[in-house]
Amino acid sequence: MVLNLEKKIERLTLFLRLDGELDMHTASTLRQAIDSEIDKRGIRTVILNLQGVQFVDSSGLGVILGRYKKLLPLGGKLKITNVPPHIYKIMELSGLPKIINFYLDEAHAYEEGRGA
């Protein structure tokens, strides 16, 4: 099982749609995909669409939290959308929703903070 990433960039916002399992094996794929956009293109907002995520464990959550921590001092934001219920349960247990903002879908996440 792998993790597929569908990438889209609009202005300085990176949209990433995740499809597959997010564990210690696939976490590095996600880390590299996001970090390279932050470092090379100056991306400051990352919107993660988790609709297609079938599994997540603490390694996967750690990478998401790590990207949030990387963006914070740069004045950036990490937003999460379309979380399936069984994935949200794990995230809730980790306390992640207290730190990172969750949205219904990408449009809501994109609008927020843009004054639209």
Partner 1 sequence: MKSNQITLTFSSIPENVSIARLLIASVGGQLDLSLNDIEELKVAISEAVSNAIIHGYQSNPSRIVYLNLVIAADNLKITVKDEGCGISDVAQAMQPAFSTDPERMGLGFVFMQSFMDELQVDSVLEVGTTVTMIKHLKPTPISSH
What is residue 12's three-state secondary structure?
coil
- Compute CA distances 13 → 24, 41, 58, 93, 109, whole Å: 26, 10, 26, 28, 11
Smallest distance from partner 1 to CB 56, Å:
8
Which region, judged by CB under 8 A, interacts with partner 1, from 5-13, 32-40, 61-69, 108-116?
A: 61-69
Smallest distance from partner 1 to CB 90, Å:
6
Residue among 19 and 57 whose Cβ is closer to partner 1: 57
The whole-angstrom separation of Cα 12 and Cα 66 is 19
Residue 71's Cβ-side half-sphere holds a number of Cα atoms within 13 Å equal to: 27
Residue among 91 and 110 whose Cβ is closer to partner 1: 91
Residue among 51 and 59 whose Cβ is closer to partner 1: 59
